[in-house]
Structure 1
């Protein structure tokens, strides 16, 4: 077995009314450097990661072992050096990136030859929903749906979005489980119809290039943002300030607490500078959409 590197992008999901179904890959990465070894060892090299667990307790190993077991394969022992630019529990898809990395680790080590569609099906099963794992795997903006008729994840992908992305990352965590507990269990037919219509118009705006319309629909979400807003400090202040600086729309990234603005191309740097004065304790970053998704680079010389 040759050594190899697995790289998986971060992601932002929901994007307003696209609850559990719309996500975009971001140019921040989880990277695994893998080489053969006499035993399983994980080593972390990132300020965003805690000390590495014992291999069998490591989340990425567990995902890899689960994938191998599903295919009746056995993982050979390796040393895995993990680097990450993705902060944990901030709404940037850190869990989804780790799920994808684990599946690809098994795919490479056990020569499973999984197709991208098969990886997506397994990642969705492991993660619970496709909105983060789909862009982490495939890159770009992806709209997903799980249908009973086909019993598979259907998706539409595009990387043709001409906007700047500004993220407001606080220095505290918000667990997805906590953010889900505030959501209603059911919606009335009238509320579901209104919320779905807002989501439909947002997607139409994004795909047609009417980003002003898309931004208004992002901020009109009825599925989750009204319920989660109270968990996000400075929620209204961030939205208002970003709007005044020219952003099309500002929403919670994933389950939060990070928020993200979609802004006219070329305005991101000025929004970053302006928002730093508004949010001095936040990390405010100008990002781009990752268009490639999961990447694997193999090496010939590995000892």
Structure 2
């Protein structure tokens, strides 16, 4: 029998949206919104007038892409979405599920994941979205298809959360903003790896994003020019790097010299994205002197893999998210495949690990509806 959880509503008025005073730019956009950092359980104590909207669809299927977080020196505040792999959600109005209740009916691709909505990333994000909308009169059934491996460093939990939030929103007429959906996804991320939007932000918005602030919440979309080529080489070894363990490796203090250097590289990375300069982007991505040196030794063969990527012509290479996936940057797909082959070989020789290489471009769309039905 599928596990389910009763939904208590929260008014959208609890989320105070206002315009940013920062001037807009054709390659730069920003939205701020205030939100208390409440868990789904804590949100049940809130009461407010809600619309309790009727669904406009009977079922919907959504997809959310993989993401690369940190991008070297942008630890916890930079990330991007990559085209190709991702997670899918099928969400339906289900008369067999009690009104105001969410049930996870099935999970494929990751049998170890819990079907309890309070302990599943998709469930938590869906619940948060339902509360924002004030859904009370219908029950929903959710099915999760995992296309991303767990603990891969490709934003697996964020993809599930993003797809679920977009699915709930679409089912009820897409009245919430993308930033509302990022906040819903953050409730899920907080449960798994902390209140960090550098995965769920790009998973929902697509492209490159920068998290400027959490209180008030402000996320900036960085527009890499559409007429410039950017290719990601994602090499994933058969090795799990739990986010908790990788965070425990971080230094408790950072020296001023290292702080200045990393800040400079992060600024260069942002400038390179806006300018469409893949070479500078790769160089900056490779220059993290704080996080990567602590995490690299925990991934067998990482140093050799990075060296192999650079020697094969990559513009830059670093750990994707918390790892163990390693990401290299180039501007040609064919060259990217050659680099991937060398990185896979280095993982096998230096780390004793089998690995798979994927060549992908930037996903500029983010989480989206791929099919829907009124039947």
2:93 equivalent to 1:36: yes
- The aligned residue for residue 360 of structure 2 is 287
More off after superposition, 250-259 vs 52-61: 52-61
Q: Which moved more, 1:215-224 or 1:10-19?
A: 215-224
> Are 2:148 and 1:86 aligned?
yes
Aligned residue number for residue 50 of structure 1: 111
**1:15, distance to aligned residue in structure 2 (A):** 0.7
Aligned residue-pair number:
298
What is the TM-score with the length of structure 2 in the denominator? 0.73
Deviation at 1:87, TM superposition (A): 1.0
Distance 1:124 1:79, change over 3 A: closer
- Separation of aligned partners in 1, 2:63 and 2:208: 18
Q: Is the 8 A contact 2:122 2:144 kept in 1?
A: no
The residue aligned with 1:139 is 206
Residues 135-177 of structure 1: CA deviation (Å, up to 9, x unaligned): 10111122221165xx121303224351221111011211111
Helix, strand or coil at the partner of 2:76: strand
Deviates further, 274-283 or 178-187:
274-283
Q: Offset at 1:75?
A: 7.2
Correspondence for 1:260 among 317, 327, 338? 327
Question: Is contact 1:65–1:75 with CA below 8 Å preserved after alignment?
Answer: no
Superposed CA offset, 1:237-289 (max 9, x none) = 01111111100011000010110000132311222333343334101111222
Q: Is the 8 A contact 2:90 2:167 kept in 1?
A: no
In structure 1, list runs of 5 or more residues that go unmatched: none
In the other structure, the counterpart of 2:318 is 251
Q: Deviation at 1:70?
A: 4.7
Alignment of 1:1-303 (within 5 A): 1-27=57-83, 28-37=85-94, 38-39=96-97, 40-46=103-109, 49-50=110-111, 53-56=114-117, 57-74=119-136, 76-109=138-171, 113-127=175-189, 128-146=195-213, 148=215, 151-160=216-225, 162-266=229-333, 267-280=335-348, 281-302=354-375
Q: Distance in 1 between matches of 2:297 and 2:141?
A: 43
When structure 1 is superposed on structure 2, of 101-110 and 8-17 the one drifting more is 101-110
With a CA cutoff of 8 Å and minimum separation of 6, indicate the structure with the bigger relative contact order: 1
TM-score (norm 1): 0.88
Q: Quote the Cα distance in structure 1 between the aligned partners of 2:134 and 2:93.
A: 21
Residue segments in structure 2 that go unaligned for 5+ positions in a row: 1-56, 98-102, 190-194, 349-353
Structure of larger gyration radius: 2
Match of 2:31 in 1: none
* RMSD (Å) for aligned C-alpha atoms: 2.3
Cα drift, residue 290 of structure 1:
1.2
Change (3 A) 1:241 1:54: closer
Moved more, 76-85 or 23-32: 76-85
Give the secondary-structure state (helix, strand or coil) at the position aligned to 1:260. Answer: strand
